[in-house]
A and B are shown apart, each in its own frame.
Chain A
Amino acid sequence: MSKTATGLRRVGRPALAALALLLAAGARADTLRVIDLAIRDARFQPTTLTVPAGEKFKLRVTNHGPGVEEFESVDLNRERIVPPGRSIEVYLGPLKPGRYRIFGDFHPATAQGEIVATEHK
Chain B
Amino acid sequence: MATVLFIVWRESLEAVLVIGILYAYLARLGTGRRGRAWLWAGVAGGLALSAVLALVTMRIETDLQGRALQYFQVAMMGTAAALLTQMVLWMHRNGRRLKGDLEAELDRAVGTGSLLAVGVVALLAVAREGAETVLYLYGLGLEARHAGAWALGGSALAGFALALATAWLVARGVRFLNYRTFFRVTGVVLLFTAAGMLVSAASQLIGMGVLPALVDPVWNTTWLLDANGRLGTLAAALTGYRPRPSLMLVLLYAGFWVFVLARLRRAPPDSAAPTRAGAAAPAPAPERP
User: Which positions in A face B, CB cutoff 8 Å?
Assistant: 22-23, 25-26, 29-30, 58, 66-70, 74-81, 83, 86, 88-96, 100-101, 103, 105-106, 108-109
Contacts and interface: CB of A to CB of B under 8 A. Distances in A.
B243 interface: yes
Nearest to B203: A77
A70 B136 contact: yes
Interface residues of B, dominant DSSP: helix
Contacts of B212: 22, 25-26
A103 B229 CA distance: 13
Contact of B135 (A74, A81, A89, A95): A81
A69 B140 CA distance: 10
8 contacts: A22-B210, A67-B139, A74-B242, A78-B207, A83-B58, A91-B208, A93-B213, A105-B136
Interface in B219-258: 222, 227-228, 232-233, 236, 242-246, 249
A106 B140 contact: yes
A108 B3 contact: yes
Contacts of B207: 77-78, 80, 90-92
Contacts of B270: none
Contact of A74 (B139, B142, B243): B243
Interface in B137-193: 138-140, 142-143
Of all A-B residue pairs in the complex, the 9 with the closest CB atoms, nearest first, are: A68-B139, A91-B209, A74-B227, A26-B210, A77-B203, A67-B139, A26-B209, A90-B207, A29-B209
B132 to A, nearest CB: 7
B208 A106 contact: no
B114 to A, nearest CB: 16
B63 interface: yes
A82 to B, nearest CB: 9
Given A74-B236, A106-B136, A89 B57 contact: no
Nearest to B59: A83
Contacts of B142: 66-68
B211 interface: yes
Interface residues of A, dominant DSSP: mixed
Interface of B: 3, 7, 57-58, 60, 63, 66, 132, 135-136, 138-140, 142-143, 199, 203, 206-213, 215-217, 222, 227-228, 232-233, 236, 242-246, 249
A39 to B, nearest CB: 12
Given A25-B212, A91-B206, 20 more contacts: A23-B210, A26-B209, A67-B142, A68-B135, A68-B138, A68-B139, A68-B142, A74-B227, A74-B244, A77-B244, A77-B245, A81-B57, A81-B135, A86-B60, A90-B207, A91-B207, A91-B209, A93-B216, A106-B135, A108-B3
Contacts of A25: 212
A67 B60 contact: no
A25 B211 CA distance: 8
Contacts of A109: 3
Most chain A CB neighbours (cut-off 10 Å) among B7, B139, B227, B242: B139
Contact of B211 (A22, A68, A81, A96): A22
A93 B248 CA distance: 12
A101 B243 CA distance: 12
B209 A68 contact: no
A83 B60 contact: yes
A90 B67 CA distance: 11
Nearest to A80: B207
Contact of B139 (A90, A92, A106): A106
Contacts of B233: 74
A116 to B, nearest CB: 14
A105 B135 CA distance: 11
Contacts of B3: 108-109
A75 B57 contact: no
A90 B203 CA distance: 11
